[in-house]
A and B are shown apart, each in its own frame.
Chain A
Amino acid sequence: MQVSKSRRVFLIVNAIFMLLVCLAIVLPLWMVVITSLSSNEVAAAEGFVFIPKGLEWTSYQAVFSSSGYTGAFIRSIGVTVSATALSMALTTTMAYALAQRELAFRKFFMNAVLLTMVVDGGIIPFYMVVKQLGMIDTYASLIIPMAITTYNLILMRNFFQSLPESLMESARLDGCSEIGILCRIVLPISVPILAAILLFYAVGHWNRYFEVIMFINSSKKYTLQVLLRQLIFQSEGDGTYSVQVNNFKMAVMVITMLPILALYPFIQKYFISGLMLGSVKG
């Protein structure tokens, strides 16, 4: 096929541009990994290391050599899994309900949901609500108040609305209940959006930091992110603390990234299509 000159120029420019975009993503990640595998001396002298100079695992050994990390890691996994499960359950059912055109006061409910995107009470009212519910210093404070993200809810509702109504009508004619329709008809054909929202929730819950600081008091309930952040800034105060240089900090970053990186390949194929599908209809 004949390719015009202007088209060829466009393709080259496009390829270069995309290559630069890829490099902008890959190079920092590369530096993080290589720095985490560098010695104290190399990392201290160079800050960030681009070309490996004698790789070693000492930073990772340092992170994992204390029992505190294992506990914090398990707590983080526990909170992320349970919070994501609850989030998915609530978001799916609520989105399905809001997608029903016959729903009484549907507009009111939708506006009430949208209102939470615009109006934010701030941290002190939020804290007081959690406190009134008796959830301070409990894992529930990290799971229940953050169970539904409005953006994800709208995304899922839009997707459900885009499904052919005839599918649901057929099921109803066959005597299927609403829960049955949701579980047997809607969810099996909504895997892309479910995968995308699952990843959003999982990443959000895994990275949660501020709420942990605000709602959790005892160190034995701290998640990995809090523990690791404290380790990074340990020499911040006026006292004496062991110095942490960049290799240690980057090892911490790699460790926090890994679980999500490990999850991503399994749902990647659904991810993009899920986002696109959800955004088609408003």
Chain B
Amino acid sequence: MKKTLASVLAVAAVAASLAGCSSSTSSTASSSTASAGSTASSQAASSAVSDASQESAEPAELSLCMSQIRWGISVDDNHMQQWVAELEKATNTKIEMIAPTHNDYMEKLNVLLASGDIPDIMIPQQAWDYVGQFAVRGYIQPLTQYVENDERFAVVKSFDNSIYQSGDDIYGIPVNSGNNKIFWFRNDMIEKYGLEIKETMTTDEFITELKKVDQSEAIPFSFPKHIVNFQIFYNAFGAYGGILPDENGVYYDGIQTQEMKDAFAFIKTLYDEGLMDAEFITNENSNMREKIYAGTAVSDVDYTSRYINYLQSASSVGAPTDFTPMYSLVGPNGDLGTLNESGNEAVCVSVDCENVDAAMNLVHYLFFTEEGRMLYTLGVEGVHYDIVDNVLTPREDAVAAGYAVGLSDLISGWAAVDIQSLGFQFADTETAQIDKNIEITNKANVSYVGPLIKIPMGKSTLYDENVATYNSNLYEMATKIVLGSQTIDEAYADYEQFWKSIQGDKMLEELNAQ
């Protein structure tokens, strides 16, 4: 009896703990089969269903995957639900929310995609890398007809949509019209240390000025952990962290150039001299920003559209000051350029989406209409803010849940929102500040914009297979050089081996054969 009972108990418990393993193989197979492609059939099905849903005027069901801070900015669930209700009402949809935290967004999205749970609408970060990869893997469907033929998205034609290209099709629509990162300096620190900050500065001037900062009092220059941002330094040396075409259209490896070695040497100097934040390798963007808000850092690298946010945040932590933009470093040969992050986030639609038209209606509303853009960046009146005496005033409970007026996103959006004629003012924000922010953003976009070169997927099998490894290897290599765990020569010796391992020369041949 006891043997039987003990055996039953053990079998039940072991079976419970191992239950998962039994179905994993079959589920993987079925899921990958399901997600493996059939774009054409899903498109045909989707338009049929979408037509039907429009005729019946029933709300179209869509799953929308956006990071937690995109649903009205406040992370309070009550606020988020009311924001969703507004969006559903405006777009006649029923939305299934998928709202991972901002920092974990791509990890969650990758798991969803790989497991076949593809959200109808998703907004990948570093979209210039991921959109092409998702397209090649058959997760998302082409949006070429919308980009090229749909008048609602006509403004996107001014954007270099080839960064979202795979084969002959475009798979993503950029969320913002232009996003550039530049250098920001605190004015109180400029005065305190007598810094001479100009619109552009040579690399030598940059070092000279940063050296004037007393490092025991403040970090001269803070930087985030995202090594991809090193491109802002590469630009000054005419270097590019990737494979790119020369003036004749012949592809070459941007890493294997003297310009790139010079750029690495410059960044290493910044780090070794203590001018660059010693903690940069662990700095989230938020940590970097907090340092410059509080005045523990003199300068940093950030989006042009954050000027007003910088003013407000510095005030909120009791260290108010104005901020001066420095648009670009200028290298020994006169090269320059902002860190061009235009198209960092792009909207993609699942191959399995059954309501493509409804999905695109939602995309249009949220990112290409004034009303939608206001909802996206400002939230819902009476939930996130009130208009008090003609002034948009954030509600206290929303602020406690992270809400702040999203002027940055409003400025960088596709929809032409005329902030000056909205009929209300923004609390703690002067008209002149908004004008200045728009001017800074425009100047960066027009006069100093840096390169953004992405090779469309489908040109070379080897490139498609290795681009992710190539990028991560570059980030690792740059980190080792700057932190001093490898000399530049040692790093390049290792890189040579890496280049061979991914058949780099053959990859270039494939790209140049097109």
Q: What residues of chain A have their CB less than 8 Å away from a CB belonging to chain B?
A: 39-41, 43-45, 47, 62-63, 65-68, 71-72, 90, 93-94, 96-98, 100, 102-106, 109, 112-113, 116, 121, 123-133, 136, 145, 147-148, 150, 172, 177-179, 213-214, 217-220, 222, 226-227, 229-246
Contacts and interface: CB of A to CB of B under 8 A. Distances in A.
Chain B residues touching A, majority SS: helix
Nearest to B181: A238
Contacts of B284: 233, 236
Contacts of B74: 66
17 contacts: A45-B318, A96-B9, A97-B7, A97-B13, A113-B14, A121-B20, A128-B116, A131-B115, A217-B97, A218-B97, A219-B71, A230-B69, A234-B102, A236-B103, A239-B70, A240-B405, A241-B69
B282 to A, nearest CB: 13
A237 B67 contact: yes
**Which of A66, A127, A229, A246 has the most chain B CB atoms closer than 10 A to its own CB?**
A66
Contacts of A97: 6-7, 9-10, 13
Contact of A45 (B11, B96, B101, B296): B296
Contact of A243 (B7, B100, B317): B317
**Which of A123, A124, A130, A229 has the most chain B CB atoms closer than 10 A to its own CB?**
A124
B324 interface: no
Contacts of A129: 19-21, 23-24, 27
Given A233-B284, A240-B406, A124 B2 contact: no
A44 B16 contact: no
Given A112-B18, A127-B115, A239-B406, 6 more contacts: A233-B286, A235-B286, A242-B316, A242-B404, A243-B289, A244-B402
Given A41-B318, A219-B68, A242-B316, A102 B3 contact: yes
Contact of A233 (B80, B102, B405): B102
Contact of A100 (B2, B28, B71): B2
B73 A241 contact: yes
B318 to A, nearest CB: 3
A214 B17 contact: no
B174 interface: no
Interface in B381-415: 396-409, 412
**Which of A100, A217, A227 has the most chain B CB atoms closer than 10 A to its own CB?**
A217
Nearest to A130: B20
A68 B77 contact: yes
- A-B pairs with the 4 shortest C-beta distances? A94-B13, A41-B318, A68-B76, A44-B317
A98 B10 contact: yes
Contacts of A232: 286
**Which of A105, A150, A238 has the most chain B CB atoms closer than 10 A to its own CB?**
A238
Contacts of B3: 100, 102-104
Nearest to B412: A238
Given A148-B16, A213-B108, A44 B10 contact: no
B306 interface: yes
A166 B409 CA distance: 73
Nearest to B403: A242
Given A178-B2, A241-B402, A127 B111 contact: yes
Interface in B94-127: 96-104, 107-108, 111, 114-117
Nearest to A41: B318
B290 interface: yes
B396 A65 contact: yes
Contacts of B68: 219, 230
B6 A116 contact: no
For chain B, the bracket of interface size reads: 35 or more
A66 B81 CA distance: 14
Contact of B17 (A62, A130, A147, A243): A147
B179 interface: yes
A237 B73 CA distance: 11
B17 A234 contact: no
**Which of B103, B107, B399, B409 has the most chain A CB atoms closer than 10 A to its own CB?**
B103
A179 B70 CA distance: 52
Nearest to A243: B313
Contacts of A127: 111, 115, 117
A268 B315 CA distance: 46
A136 B98 CA distance: 11
Nearest to B26: A132
A59 to B, nearest CB: 11
B10 A236 contact: no
A245 B317 contact: yes
Given A103-B7, A128-B31, A129-B24, A239 B99 contact: no
B426 to A, nearest CB: 11
Interface in B16-69: 16-21, 23-24, 27-28, 31, 67-69
A131 B117 CA distance: 9
A232 to B, nearest CB: 8
Contact of A218 (B6, B99, B402): B99
Nearest to B117: A131
A116 B319 contact: no
B99 A219 contact: yes
Contacts of A178: 1-2, 5-6, 9
Contacts of A229: 101, 103
A100 B6 contact: yes
Nearest to B296: A47
Contacts of B14: 94, 109, 112-113
Nearest to B344: A238
Contact of A123 (B2, B28, B111): B111
Interface in B263-288: 284-286
Given A236-B286, A239-B69, A222 B179 contact: no
A17 B215 CA distance: 34
B69 to A, nearest CB: 6
A40 to B, nearest CB: 5
B78 interface: yes
Interface string B146-169: 000000000000000000000000
A129 B24 CA distance: 6
Interface string B435-456: 0000000000000000000000
Contacts of B404: 240-242
**Which of B10, B69, B73, B101 has the most chain A CB atoms closer than 10 A to its own CB?**
B10
B93 interface: no
Given A41-B317, A245-B290, A245-B294, A234 B75 contact: yes
Contacts of A130: 20
B237 to A, nearest CB: 26
Nearest to B305: A238
A206 to B, nearest CB: 18
Contacts of A234: 69, 75, 102, 286, 402
B29 to A, nearest CB: 10
A45 B73 contact: no
Nearest to B316: A243
B115 A128 contact: yes
Nearest to B408: A240
Contacts of A41: 317-319
A66 B76 contact: yes
Contacts of A65: 396-397, 400
